[in-house]
Amino acid sequence: MKKIKFLLVGILFGIVMTKSEAISWYRIYEMFTFQSFHMYGIIGSAVGLGIILIQIIQRTGTKSITGNDIQFAPKSKTYPRYIIGGTIFGLGWALTGACPGPMFVLVGNGFLAMLIVIFSSIIGTFLYGLLRDKLPH
């Protein structure tokens, strides 16, 4: 029962992604052609408020629900992986109009085509796992 909170937050995520239309291939195309402010507004305001809230957590030393310190693990500082991996992901994001969150939300919206995207993205992750020792990071 402790885990039901993750289900509820996930439901809220599915609703906000659908109602904001951030799961729409059309909106992603508009974003990458700079024809609409909508997606920039969503990401920008999410990050803007996110920065403020994380600063508040860090400066007040807010504890997590279990009473532990909240840790923010820094990302590793090796850059090839971010730019190369990021570019590969960007190609797929623009092509399908979906990133990993929206793929699942779209299945809930009844788009069964996304099950194919989900399945092949699992295969893609598997291929990365096989090749990672040979890739520059």
Partner 1 sequence: MLELIKEPWPWYFSGPVISIIMILLIYFGKTFGVSSNLRTFCAIGGAGKFSDFFKFNWKAQTWNLIFVLGSVIGGFISTEFLNNGEPMLLSAGVMEDFKAMGIANPGASILPDELFGMEAIFSIKGLSMLIIGGLLIGFGTRYAGGCTSGHAISGLSNLQFPSLVAVIGFFIGGLIMTYLIFPFIL
Q: How far is the CB of 2 from partner 1 (least distance, A)?
A: 9
CA within 13 Å, CB half, 66 = 5
Site for partner 1 in 81-100 (CB under 8 A): 81-100
Tell me the CA end-to-end span of the chain in Å, nearest whole number: 40
Rounded-to-integer distance, Cα 79 and Cα 85, Å: 10
What burial class does residue 89 get, using C-beta atoms within 10 Å of its C-beta: 0-12 exposed, 13-18 middle, 19+ buried?
middle
Residue 114 near residue 107 (C-beta atoms within 8 A): yes
Query: Would you count residue 123 as binding partner 1 (CB under 8 A)?
Result: yes
Q: Report in angstroms how near the CB of residue 137 gets to partner 1 at its nearest.
A: 8
What's the min distance (Å) between Cβ of 61 and partner 1?
13
**Is 60 a residue that touches partner 1 (CB under 8 A)?**
no
Would you count residue 76 as binding partner 1 (CB under 8 A)?
Answer: yes
Q: In the set 59, 61, 112, 134, which binds partner 1 (CB under 8 A)?
A: 112
Kindly state whether residue 77 participates in binding partner 1, applying the rule CB under 8 A.
yes
- Cα angle value 62/64/66 (rounded, 5°): 135
Tokens representing residue 10 in the block: 């996930």
Residue 59 interacts with partner 1 (CB under 8 A): yes or no: no
* Smallest gap from residue 20 Cβ to partner 1 (A): 3
Does position 30 bind partner 1 by CB under 8 A? yes
